Amino acid sequence: AETLGASAAENGRYFGAAIAPNFLGEEGYSSTLNAEFNSIVAENAMKWDATEPSPGQFTFTGGDQLVALAQEQNMEVRGHTLVWHAQQPAWVQGLTGQALHDAMTEHIAGVAGHYQGEITSWDVVNEAFEWDGSRRQSNLQTQLGDGWIEDAFRAADAADPDAKLCYNDYGTDGVNAKSDAIYDMVVDFQARGVPIDCVGFQTHLSSDSDLSSYQENLQRFGDLGVDVEITELDVGGSGSAQADVYRTVTEACLNVDRCTGITVWGITDKYSWRGEETPLLFDGNYQKKEAYEAVLDALNAA
Ligand code: G3I
């Protein structure tokens, strides 16, 4: 097919982008989104600081706008993210013990409940592990202990039983200590009946990233019976080196049955969080880059 979304769909997959509602008024931004992608995720609009700026006071304006657009355009919506150590509102950062636990579960109930039935998969917990596989010593971890992750998944399952529930992280682009720790967590959750359906691999890469065990890593998670999703793909660099990395990641997803789709972390280089690294598929003028052609070719070759 002629577009990323249509070509991914021919392989039973989605191709999505992270979106900021404030750019939707820009013609190139909206037209590229609508033409090329069949899934969206909010880059920031569904995070804790955006959705619950004061305790129990929920604001869904940006997220609702994205969900409405997705429904109008027949796109899937990923949810990002219910619980994370970053982008917590100030009032959460000061909480301790049971008050923090209650705030977390009430936040999940409020947000996942609001979007119940509208989200294909939720990043329930984001970035809870360190490179060495130990738990990140966030306020959640130090205040609540190891059980906070499973408590978050149980709360999300109660709020939206039909959404797939994902654990999402970066630096998991191969078999390594961090992906091992996440793998062990999935095995443990499955053994104890804690709901988990998917693992998100953010896949923030550079042109020289080592992808020698990228596909093998996705496959071992798929073999556990969870979906795997490429959730925040971007690749610093340019030209054929950048295109090659994009192609490798796309092929890896297509080669793994349980890889349900790919999301790039933005549309255009000009609004990327890594802007100077020009990591996306469209340049600042919404022109298709060599990386775009590599991804499209890979999707159509499968
Ligand atoms: O909304 C305010 C705006 O009111 C203010 O004028 C402006 C001035 O700095 O800041 C705006 O907030 C910024 C927000 O992006 C929206 O642009 C924050 O400062 C900035 O920190 C925030 O950055 C986001 C970052 O997460 C926060 O950690 C990036 O856009 C977003 O791409 C990035 O996404 C994360 C994923 O959620 C998780 N994985 C890694 C990924 C990249 O860091």
Query: For 243-294, how does the pLDDT look when each residue is reduced to its tens digit (9 = 90+)?
Result: 999 999 999 999 999 999 999 999 999 999 998 999 999 999 999 999 999 9
Per residue, what are the HEC states of 212-258? CCHHHHHHHHHHCCCEEEEEEEEEECCHHHHHHHHHHHHHHHHHCCC
In ligand 1, the atom with minimum distance to the C-alpha of 86 is 28
The structure tokens 């052609």 sit at 293
N- to C-terminal Cα distance for the chain?
12
Q: Please give the pLDDT value at position 275.
A: 87
* Number of Cα atoms under 13 Å in the Cβ half of residue 138: 23
- The percent of residues above 90 in pLDDT, for the chain, comes to 99
pTM: 0.98
What are the angstrom distances between the C-alpha of 193 and each of 127, 157, 169, 185, 189? 22, 12, 22, 12, 6
Per-residue pLDDT, 302: 84
CA distances for 249 relative to 63, 235, 242, 253, angstroms:
28, 10, 11, 6
Helix/strand/coil for 283: coil
ipTM score assigned to the predicted complex: 0.94
Q: Is the dihedral of CA 110, 13, 258, 235 positive or negative?
A: negative
How remote is the CA of residue 275 from the centroid of ligand 1, in Å?
Answer: 13
Residue with tokens 């556990």: 224
* Ligand 1 pocket at CB < 6 A: 43-44, 86-87, 126, 170, 202, 232, 273
pLDDT in tens, 9-58: 999 999 999 999 999 999 999 999 999 999 999 999 999 999 999 999 99
